[in-house]
Amino acid sequence: MKQEAEEKRMLEDERKKIEKEEEKYLVEMNRNRELLTSEKNEDKIRELQERIALLEAQYDELEEKKEEIIKRANGKAGHVYVISNLGSFGGNIFKIGMTRRLDPSERIDELGDASVPFKFDVHAMIFSNDAVALEQQIHLQLAGERVNKINMRKEFFYANVESIENLVQDIDPTAEFTTTMIAQEYRQSLSVQDISSVEAHLFEEEEAVS
């Protein structure tokens, strides 16, 4: 799939970026270790030891992040998301998909770009070591509620928020689920529209009186 290939490419770019950062840390650690071998001043020795310990901790964090990237790129780990867009699709349509990205919110932001008038609300974001299977499991249970029954890559489903919440909780009782459709931009747009309508009505009344 195009999305999967794009996400793997982004993970590979991220891995290369981390490896470059790791090289910088290694150079700096080696430099400080060399200074430590020849340093006689106790205060400076302590400073160098603290500096090396900090660099090692930061290097370990990069290693962990790189390992997670490799795991996601080569495996099925990722996040399954449940999102809605009240202003674009109404209150009874949800999109349920998965992403391998380290920051899954990036994928949600992409979906809420110029192709829809409003941003998506996130109801659930579930991490799984086999996000592909989890996504398929949810899709299978909602198969009869697909909006597009021809193109299976269109992951939109008819449902109410309570039924989606129950489905998610049955699959993963630990998953956090938000039932509220905030739809901030949509509701703000309605408020602006209401104000404009009132102003237009008042203007018409003033025109009629004059």
Do 180 and 86 share a structural domain? yes
pLDDT class of 114 with cuts at 50, 70, 90? low
pLDDT in tens, 147-201: 999 998 899 999 999 999 999 999 889 889 999 999 988 989 888 765 555 444 4
Are 30 and 121 found together in one domain? no
Q: Residue 42: inside a domain, yes or no?
A: yes
Q: What is the pTM of this model?
A: 0.68
Mark which of 74, 102, 127 sits at the end of a domain.
Answer: 74
Domain boundaries, position 118? 78-184
One domain, residues 124 and 34: no
* Domain membership flag for residue 7: yes
Among 9-13, 38-42, 76-80, 160-164, whose mean pLDDT is lowest? 9-13
Domain closes at, from 74, 89, 104: 74
Could you give the CA distance from residue 42 to residue 33 in angstroms, rounded to a whole number?
Answer: 15
Task: Mean pLDDT check: name the lowest of 4-8, 31-35, 95-99, 144-148.
Answer: 4-8
Q: What is the pLDDT of residue 195?
A: 57
Q: Confirm whether 195 is domain-assigned.
A: no
Position 112 in a domain: yes
Residue 81, pLDDT score: 96
> Would 66 be classed as within a structural domain?
yes
